[in-house]
Amino acid sequence: MDGVDTSITLTVNGREHRLRIDVRSSLLDVLREDLGLTGSKKGCDQGQCGACTVLLDGRRANACLALAVAQDGAEVTTVEGLADGDALSPLQRAFIERDAFQCGYCTPGQLCSATGMLEEAARGWPSAVTGDLTADPDLDETEIRERMSGNLCRCGAYEGIVAAVKEARA
Amino acid sequence: MRPFAYERAATAEEALARCDEETRYLGGGTNLVDLMRLGVERPARLVDVTRLPHDRIEERSSGALRIGAAVRNSDLTAHPAVRRHHPMLVQAVLSGASGQIRNQATVGGNLLQRTRCSYFQDITKPCNKREPGTGCPAIDGEHHNLAILGHSESCVATHPSDMAVALAALDATVLTRGRGGERAIPLADFYRLPGSHPERDTTLEPGELVTAVEVPPLAMPSRYRKVRERASFAFALVSIAAAADVRDGVVRDCRIALGGVAHRPWRARRAEDHLRGRPLTRENLAGAADQELAAAHPLRDNAYKLRLARNLIVRTLLELGERA
Amino acid sequence: MNAIGSRSRVEGREKVTGEARYAVEHPVPGAAYAWVVQSTVAKGEITAFDTADAEALPGVLTVLTPDNAPELAPVSDGELAVLQGRKVSYRGQIVAAVVAETLETAREAARLVRVTYAARRHDVRLTPDHPGRYTPDEAEDGPWQARQGDPEDAFRAAPVRIDCTFTTPAEHNNPMEPHATLAAWDGDALTVHDSNQGPSTVRSTLAKVFELDPARVRVISPHIGGGFGSKGTPRPNVVLAAMAARAVGRPVKLAFTRRQMYALTGYRSPTVQRVRLGAAEDGRLTTIIHESFEQSSTVREFAEESTTPTRVMYRAPNRRTAYHLTRLDVPSTSWMRAPGDAPGMFALESAMDELAVVLGLDPIELRVRNEPDGHPEDGRPFSSRNLVACLREGAARFGWSDRDPTPGVRRVGRRLVGTGVAAATYPVLRSPAQATARANADGSYTVRIAAIDLGTGARTALGLIAAETLKADPAQVTVEIGDSDLPRAGLAGGSAGTAGWGTAVVRACEALLSKLNGHVPPEGVEAAADTTEEVKGQGDEYARHSFGAHFAEVEVDVDTGEIRVPRMLGVFATGRIVNAKAARSQFLGGMIMGLGMALMEESVLDEAFGDHLTADLAQYHIPANADVRDLDAVWLDEHDPHVNPMGTKGIGEIGIVGAAAAITNAVHHATGVRFRTLPLTPPRVLPEL
């Protein structure tokens, strides 16, 4: 379509892609429709559920709110890129072991979000429930719950998610 | 979504030069992209301003902080100086949205986000803010989370930002750059009340670009408290940013701003004036709250916000006093 | 806590790596995208379509309207008559659809379709005394009303009386995966990858609607991103996707947006329920009267049946239960997790708590005193009933014995603290199914059945059931589900999936065992089962129900009206548990949805426009991670030989039943205020404190 298509380069899960995309496309739709990486889910397309969470230049982000054209040159890690070959990441293993999902639709977003969240916590970032803002937060259950609240799970697997995050961090 | 031209600006001049009536500046996009998908915003051109050199937080010799408009919300809350000096600002930003969105959203975008009023977001319904002159169905419709203060016959929307509430309490200044040059707009003058022009949220001129926010030092303990309909990841019903300098049980100075009650962050100056010099007691706090809320005009279904705002003022200031 | 096993989900690896593909994610070359246009009036007629601008957009393949849509064969569900006329019956109804090369083009073209309406005055307001109120002729779970003795006279004569009215809002299921279909035709053969709760049902419906031989329709659904009832009946998406694919001669993907779901995929009716309880001074009930007023669309009759659980709960010689519907110009109501039972038990169990307070009797003791010997209406024995055991087990675990019943006296800082209890029940249901079991030459087994896994862990559970029957290691059993080409099976719904499918799997495995003589030839040995006779032949000499008890602790902030639930415990007697790991998750998930029901979930209807305006996940709040704290679910070892060969009773729904009442009863204990309208948000709570 005239004037609508544009070209971008994305590095997704370590692999560089030169893509011709509709300028209106979200990063989520480019991943799902153009690259066939359907692990990132579309639960609301409004940034209100977190199912589309990916790591964008190393930080967790909602791919549905990111215009793909604005991410030209970015590095993206999706759920498909969390494992090291056949070896699942500690979080992925813990999610299975702790039954941290039921339908599995929010799971890729939960996993990417938890991966990014652990990194944020390791850097000492505070959250809304952190008492002393000048100290490094202790990532207890209350902290994990607050920090993972951007990922809704209608099956209600929250207890398993918190347990899995704790286990993977240990 | 209407097709649009996308351009990345490297400098403010470049951004300004490319901006016309049908252009929107793109920050993190966390609100704009949603509004575009909803059909509320239909820009012909997006100028991406995230690569502008506005992504730093600088500490001035005056003790003020200059926060670039392109600073991500999460970087603001992670910054040591902000954490040390402005707990209420950090808490306000952290109580907004989710970790993901805070990683994407910029300070400038946070300031300029639009109301979450249902009618505004639904293009199949009238809304004076979205389409001037079409009416405001919220006044007689669903408005349990809309304004009690400063609203008009044409609009009862509330401003959704938490960060802006803290900035209002902090006497922050919004630094901008427009065709007429640079401006420093006190936050109190930055947001508008709806009046008969609810389509305008701010006093920004067309094309004027927010470049930074300057936060003067504040030597008082502060905190932000937000009440909402679930424990996290929800917009405020009512929120409060408060700071107090309490010595010997007397309020020497204080700052109070309310969120979720008006078209803009509501600086409670009457309450502050009432409190200064008075003992920090429940009674005086309630009196201060009543002074402020005397101007309120609750709608059919949101009178609870009066009590909520009053209780938050009393409780938050008492808690700040206990710490002193 | 016994169970057949405790296994991690067999599809776990697929789900944590992103390999699991849901409906529209299946790779199909050349797929086009469909987008729906929804009505902007709640009632009326379409007078004109202008599709010129939409059709002129490059990349648009077709615009379907009632004027050019193919005629479909009528089916009983009026929601499936997609684009079959110009009548508008609710705001948000599908009035046109665009098919285009890309998602973005389809969305933009849908916006460009202009529809003109002759709107008529709509009626969307549910009131108990609505002039259009009627009592439906029949319902799925029995008569619309039941009456014994003289309930009204008994109520007037009762020494202790409770008469209160409870209001529950419309609630939307909101599974995380929106309803979605990828449809492709090959001649007159139709294949859909679809998000649903029963591929066999979707197949037979599509065959009817498009007048096809069912053998030419295939429904493939290996993974479903939740349903909670909303995917229990085929939805307009599957019909429209198939219609669109046929129209453009290409595969078509159609996924509803989250916003569209609020009009198009069903929701729980709001209810107004009046409960009258009459009791003797010792707490023994003399009469129970429970009436419910609910809504239905004009397109599809659906009764929430909120008074049904009251029929099995407590002994009382005089009793009456009835529900009434009003057909309004609203989107169609439908199943949402524990339809009827969830709102009904909120009302009944709140009323029981009110009675306990009036009597000064412990709420557990009140329930124990009213425990029936058999079914309260006809005296039939229960196949098993362990409500009292659940209450006692829960009381011991929760620390109920120290509870001071006085309301409004426990204060921690600025928070009032209280605890509450409520009972739970859910019927034991089962539908017929077919299954095959195959012994392979390598010692492994394959079980095949058109069951489906919405997140329940069905694949894993059926593997455990098969392995037990075959006396094999579960790792040796492969279960194939989620495809209508597999042996026909009923829905994942009514907490009946495992019971119905499991029966067929057990019978197929038994048949296989009887065929095996120690030697498996290279081509394997297969046996089949069909449980139609067995299931239909099961008599009603027993009343078959699950029971449970919920305990909740709440903190109510006196300044803000915010309610937090630091502790929640569910104790369930649901027969034999199949997979301990997944069962616990499912109970907890139900309880969390009950927490949402109690504290935040509400679809607000805009009376001026006629639609639900809380139409996204920022306005319709479901519990987030931070809302959930210390949560536990346990079960009793219950052996029930009268339900099915596994002894299972179904666990998918009972977790939500009664959970809201336990929380609101705790709120009363904390504050002394009785809230009879859900949900208990700060705007409702604060003014009463």
- CA angle B127/B131/B132 to nearest 5° reads 95
Distance CA C113, CA C34 (A): 13
Residue C592 to residues A165, C163, C198, C527, C552: CA-CA distances in angstroms?
19, 29, 25, 41, 12
User: Which of C559, C564, C609 is opposite residue B315, by nearest beta carbon?
Assistant: C559
Distance CA B67, CA B145 (A): 30
What's the rounded mean pLDDT across residues C462-469?
98
User: Which of C14, C104, C588 is opposite residue A159, by nearest beta carbon?
Assistant: C588
Give the 3-state DSSP-derived string for C52-72, with helices as H, strands as E and coil as C: HHHHHCCCEEEEECCCCCCCC
Distance CA A42, CA C225 (A): 11
Nearest residue of A to residue B234, measured between CA atoms? A48
Q: Choose the final residue of a domain: A30, A48, A81.
A: A81
Phi (first) and psi of residue C519, to 5 degrees: -130, 130
> Which pLDDT value is given to residue C142?
59
The verdict on a CB contact (< 8 Å) between B90 and A126 is yes
Q: Is residue C268 over pLDDT 60?
A: yes
Residue B17 to residues B25, B47, B208: CA-CA distances in angstroms?
12, 10, 11
Using a CB-CB cut-off of 8 Å, the residues of chain C touching A157 are 585, 588-589
Instruction: Report the Cα C561 to chain-centroid distance in Å.
Output: 30
Q: Are residues A103 and A54 in the same domain?
A: no
Domain containing A26 equals: 5-81
> Which pLDDT value is given to residue C99?
98
Q: How confident is the model at residue C145 (pLDDT cuts 50, 70, 90)?
A: confident
The verdict on a CB contact (< 8 Å) between B37 and A46 is yes
- Provide the CATH number for the domain around residue A149: 1.10.150.120
> Which pLDDT value is given to residue C181?
98
B222-323 is classed in which CATH architecture?
A: 2-Layer Sandwich (3.30)
Given the candidates 3.30.365.10, 3.30.300.90, 1.20.58.2050, 3.20.20.140, the CATH classification of the domain at C431-536 is 3.30.365.10
Distance CA B82, CA A123 (A): 16
The verdict on a CB contact (< 8 Å) between B103 and A123 is no
The Cα of B6 is separated from the nearest Cα of chain A by a number of Å equal to: 8
Q: Are residues A72 and A111 in the same domain?
A: no
CB atoms within 10 A of CB B138: 28
> Which pLDDT value is given to residue C2?
86
| Coil, helix or strand at residue C622 | coil
Round the CA-based radius of gyration of chain B to a whole number and report it: 19
Pairs of CB atoms within 8 A across A/C: 180
Sheet holding C411-412, edge to edge: C411-412, C415-427, C545-557, C563-573, C630-635
- Provide the CATH number for the domain around residue A35: 3.10.20.30
Using a CB-CB cut-off of 8 Å, the residues of chain C touching B116 are 618-619
CATH 1.10.10.10: does it fit domain C23-121+173-264? no
Structure tokens at C440: 């392979």
Distance CA C28, CA C18 (A): 18
ipTM above 0.85, yes or no: yes
Q: Are residues A23 and A53 in the same domain?
A: yes
Distance CA B96, CA A128 (A): 9
> Which pLDDT value is given to residue B184?
98
> Which pLDDT value is given to residue A2?
44
Q: Are residues A94 and A165 in the same domain?
A: yes
Using a CB-CB cut-off of 8 Å, the residues of chain A touching C104 are 4, 22, 24-25, 29
Using a CB-CB cut-off of 8 Å, the residues of chain B touching C683 are 144-145, 237, 301-302, 304
Domain boundaries, chain C: 23-121+173-264, 145-171+268-428+541-688, 431-536
Q: Which H/E stretch holds residue C84?
A: none
The verdict on a CB contact (< 8 Å) between B99 and A60 is yes
Distance CA B217, CA B64 (A): 5
| Coil, helix or strand at residue C387 | helix
C55 catalytically annotated: no
Helix axes C659-671, C580-599, angle to 10 degrees: 50
Q: Does B234 touch chain A (CB under 8 A)?
A: no
Contact call for residues B155 and B136 (beta carbons, < 8 A): yes
Distance CA B85, CA B222 (A): 9
Torsion angle defined by CA atoms of residues C190, C196, C197 and C198, in that order, rounded to the nearest 10 degrees: 0
The verdict on a CB contact (< 8 Å) between B101 and A65 is yes
User: Which of A3, A53, A126 is opposite residue B77, by nearest beta carbon?
Assistant: A126
What's the rounded mean pLDDT across residues C292-310?
95
Contact call for residues C678 and C660 (beta carbons, < 8 A): yes
Q: Is residue C319 over pLDDT 50?
A: yes
Q: Choose the final residue of a domain: A62, A81, A100.
A: A81
Lowest mean pLDDT among C45-54, C140-149, C418-427, C515-524: C140-149
| Coil, helix or strand at residue C17 | helix
Distance CA B78, CA B71 (A): 11
Nearest residue of B to residue C414, measured between CA atoms? B315
The Cα of C619 is separated from the nearest Cα of chain A by a number of Å equal to: 10
| Torsion A22-A23-A29-A35 (CA) sign | positive
Distance CA C348, CA C292 (A): 11
Q: Does A5 touch chain C (CB under 8 A)?
A: no
Q: Are residues A163 and A95 in the same domain?
A: yes
Using a CB-CB cut-off of 8 Å, the residues of chain B touching A147 are 99
Identify which of C509, C434, C526 has the alpha carbon closest to the alpha carbon of residue C467.
C509
Distance CA C275, CA C409 (A): 28
User: Which of B33, B91, B231 is opposite residue A67, by nearest beta carbon?
Assistant: B33
Beta strands C32-38 and C94-100, pairing class: antiparallel
Pairs of CB atoms within 8 A across A/B: 113
| Torsion C81-C87-C89-C91 (CA) sign | positive
Q: Are residues A77 and A102 in the same domain?
A: no
- For domain B5-50, give the fold: 3.30.43
Residue B313 to residues B239, B247, B250: CA-CA distances in angstroms?
10, 18, 16
Give the 3-state DSSP-derived string for chain A, with helices as H, strands as E and coil as C: CCCCEEEEEEEECCEEEEEEEECCCEHHHHHHHHCCCCCCCCCCCCCCCCCCEEEECCEEEECCCCEHHHHCCCEEECHHHCCECCECCHHHHHHHHCCCCCCCCCHHHHHHHHHHHHHHHHCCCCCCCCCCCCCCCCCCHHHHHHHCCCCCCCCCCHHHHHHHHHHHHC
Question: What does the pLDDT profile of chain A (170 residues) look like in tens digits?
Answer: 445 899 999 999 999 999 999 999 999 999 999 999 999 999 999 999 999 999 999 999 999 999 999 999 999 999 999 999 999 999 999 999 999 999 999 999 999 999 999 999 999 999 999 999 999 999 999 999 999 999 999 999 999 999 999 999 87
Nearest residue of B to residue C624, measured between CA atoms? B232
Q: Is residue C138 over pLDDT 90?
A: no
C624 CB-near residues (< 8 Å, 6+ apart): A149, A152, B230, B231, B232, B233, B234
CB burial readout C479-495, b (16+ within 10 A) else e = bbbbbbbbbbbbbbbbb
Contact call for residues C238 and C224 (beta carbons, < 8 A): no
Structural domains of chain A, count: 2
| Coil, helix or strand at residue B155 | coil
Contact call for residues B299 and B142 (beta carbons, < 8 A): no
Q: Is-same-fold flag (C23-121+173-264; C431-536)?
A: yes
CB burial readout C50-75, b (16+ within 10 A) else e = ebeebeebebbbbbbbbeebeebeeb
Q: Which H/E stretch holds residue C410?
A: none
Nearest residue of B to residue A52, measured between CA atoms? B100
DSSP state of B161: -
> Which pLDDT value is given to residue B324?
64
Q: Are residues A9 and A72 in the same domain?
A: yes
DSSP letters along C639-688, please? --TTS-TT-B---TTTTTTTHHHHHHHHHHHHHS----BS---HHHHGGG
Within chain B, which residues score under 70 in pLDDT? 324
Domain boundaries, chain B: 5-50, 222-323
DSSP letters along C195-264, please? --S-HHHHHHHHHHHTT--GGGEEEE-S-----TTTTSS--HHHHHHHHHHHHHTS-EEEE--HHHHHHH
What's the rounded mean pLDDT across residues C253-277?
98
> Which pLDDT value is given to residue B212?
98
What's the rounded mean pLDDT across residues C94-115?
97
Q: Is residue C244 over pLDDT 90?
A: yes
According to CATH, what is the number of the domain C145-171+268-428+541-688? 3.30.365.10
